[in-house]
Amino acid sequence: MYFDSYYLALVVPALLLSLFAQFLVSSAFSTYSKARSSRGISGRETAALLLRQNGIQDVRIEETEGSLTDHYDPSSKTLRLSRSVYASPSIAAIGVAAHETGHAIQHARGYGPLVLRSALVPAANLGSSAGPILAVLGIAAANEFLVTLGIILFSAAVLFYFITLPVEFDASRRAVALLKDNAVLSGGELAGVKKVLTAAALTYVASALTAVANLLRLILLSRNRRR
């Protein structure tokens, strides 16, 4: 996609917000990774405890490579925790593990937005990769069909980003409630978890806004081409 004034006005601010969000989450995670929880249980132990308390026995907990690569895979019912979370008894590790466990609980309970997001994955993957390319090719070639097809495909990716927001917010809400109800962390420690999860939530908001900015840019470019 070539550079244009719409990119500067719409996409660049959203990208700057994404960078700022990444800085916040890295900073918050780094700070609370150094704070050991009073109970002293690890991220893996936290996830196992919360799964057990919710009657979930068919979810595996595995260690995975990388930093902040933690995720729940609904297709294999596997909760993967990064090295900095899996064995760490820090407040940050416990918060991240609880958040990912929240996704496992969503899956077990058939949480609607998670079900919809999972169904959208194939369309979102296709839309995010092929949509912008087709739209720009269509604009360059004055081919209305390609432009429309590209925008429709990319719209599926944008929808995926927005469906992700309630999924992530709900997982964080569940995490804080579970940690409190099961006395895993004290009140002051929960405040640290909230800071880490709030910073992480901002990254998803920034991603959604970036997707919207790119979609709006394509629409405006296509309209200008028709004039």
Contact 154, 170 (CB under 8 A): no
Residues classed as catalytic = 100
> Which of 15, 222, 45 has its CA nearest to residue 37?
45
**Half-sphere exposure (CA, 13 Å, Cβ side) for 18?**
13
SS (H, E, C) 126-148: HHHHHHHHHHHHHHHHCCHHHHH
Name the E strands within the chain: 60-64, 71-73, 78-82
Alpha carbon distance 157, 116 (integer Å): 13
Alpha carbon distance 139, 221 (integer Å): 7
3-state class of 227 per DSSP? coil
User: Which residues 6+ apart lie within 8 Å of 158 measured at CB?
Assistant: 127, 208, 211, 212, 215
> Which of 67, 68, 46, 48 has its CA nearest to residue 56?
48
